[in-house]
Structure 1
């Protein structure tokens, strides 16, 4: 009985872990920043946006769909992803892609799984 329970728990934990993985081509929704700025998605600072002639706001990226362009797992088991807008536009009219710490961005709500 014990071995069946251990097997069940092992399979359950594996299935939970498998759901959290991200792969190239996955679509994510950009959520609101947890504070004034994004902590886990590497968007430029607001003063940089002003210098580039843009409005000092992240509102134009909230709710946008982004495609995972690449996935990199670091030695410390953090997963870094590179995102590109699904619409083909550039982020803030000058960045083709941005990077993010996947696990922390999902946990904070800065990125969300897109529901179809």
Structure 2
């Protein structure tokens, strides 16, 4: 009877151990593909794009329409003060607004706000 009970504890422990590692799969990794969505407000709050007046000074149009539905790749992941910061680069290799190669974003807050979404491979 003790052997069956120990076997039951072992099987339950192994099954819980494998499911707990799958729950922490939301962390970003270098090479993840994300899609930039249209924000609910007028501008992006958690993706650090330049203000519209700086885009105009560089010769671009004063709107963010060129980045909506754009696929980006995570190039760098850093942890600053408990917040996960990611550096994003366009998947097609072009520059954002014609002059920015990379932009940074607060990963967890931008995912929660719906500004970026993960793309399934």
| TM-score normalised according to structure 2 size | 0.82
Q: What are the equivalent positions in structure 2 for 1:1-116 lying under 5 Å apart?
A: 8=16, 12=19, 14-17=21-24, 19-74=25-80, 76-116=81-121
- Distance across 1 between alignment mates of 2:39 and 2:63: 11
Q: What TM-score does the superposition give when structure 1 sets the normalisation length?
A: 0.85
* Aligned residue number for residue 4 of structure 2: none
Give ranges in structure 1 of 5+ residues lacking alignment.
none
Q: Please, what is the CA RMSD of the aligned residues?
A: 1.9
In the TM superposition, residue 11 of structure 1 has moved relative to its aligned partner by: 5.9
Query: Which 4+ runs in 1 deviate beyond 3 A?
Result: 10-14
**Cα offset, 1:77, TM superposition:** 1.6
Any stretches of 5+ residues in structure 2 without a counterpart?
Answer: 1-8
Name which one, 1 or 2, has greater alpha-carbon Rg.
2
Supply the distance in 1 between the matched residues of 2:113 and 2:120 (Cα, whole angstroms): 18
Aligned residues: 111
Measured after TM superposition, the shift of residue 13 of structure 1 is: 5.1
Q: Using the alignment, how far apart are the partners of 2:46 and 2:63 within structure 1?
A: 17
Pairwise CA distance, 1:51: 1.3
